[in-house]
Every structure is written in structure tokens, then in C-alpha cells.
Amino acid sequence: MSAVAAPPGVRRVEHIMGMPIVVDVRDESVDEAVLDRMFDWFRRVDATFSTYKDDSEISRLGRGE
């Protein structure tokens, strides 16, 4: 059996919104800060719209706060 080389680029997985979010970028020169900002955006969406978090904006609206 021969080993298969990993393709160039970056693969990052973070668990947000109760599921793994996978970003696979096929560019060796990708700036990690761009990925940080993208995952920050996913966390903001989760903080705003999660019906599973008592402190999310949508949960507070649902309670009439």
C-alpha cells in the first residue's frame, strides 16, 4: 500500500452550532487570520440565532426580553 500525500492547503475543523464545520482551502498561502475571522462569523451567527442557548438574541426575543 502506498501513502497518499495530503493536498496543499489548509483544512480546519471547529465545532460550532452543535456540529463540525469544515473549511478546506486549497491554497498554501492562505492567511490563518482569514480563517479566524470566518469562524468568528460562525460563532456570531450561533450566538444570535441559536435556540439552544438561553443567552442568544433569538432566545431572549422569544422570552420577550
pLDDT for 1 equals: 64
Q: d(Cα 49, Cα 53) in Å, to the nearest integer? A: 9
Does residue 7 register a pLDDT over 90? no
Which tens digits make up the pLDDT trace of 27-62? 989 999 999 999 999 999 999 999 999 999 999 999
Alpha-carbon span 3 to 20, nearest angstrom: 26
- Residue 52 inside a domain? The answer is yes
Domain that holds residue 57: 27-65
Residue 1 lies in a domain: no
pLDDT of residue 8: 85
**pLDDT for residue 6 is more than 90:** no
In a domain, 47, yes or no: yes
41 domain residue, yes or no: yes
> Could you tell me whether strands 10-16 and 19-25 are parallel, antiparallel, or unpaired per DSSP bridges?
antiparallel
Asked if the structure places residue 21 within a domain, the reply is no
- What's the pLDDT score for residue 11? 94
Query: Does the residue 5 lie in any domain?
Result: no
Judge whether 51 lies within some domain.
Answer: yes
* Cβ pair 21, 12 in contact under 8 A: no
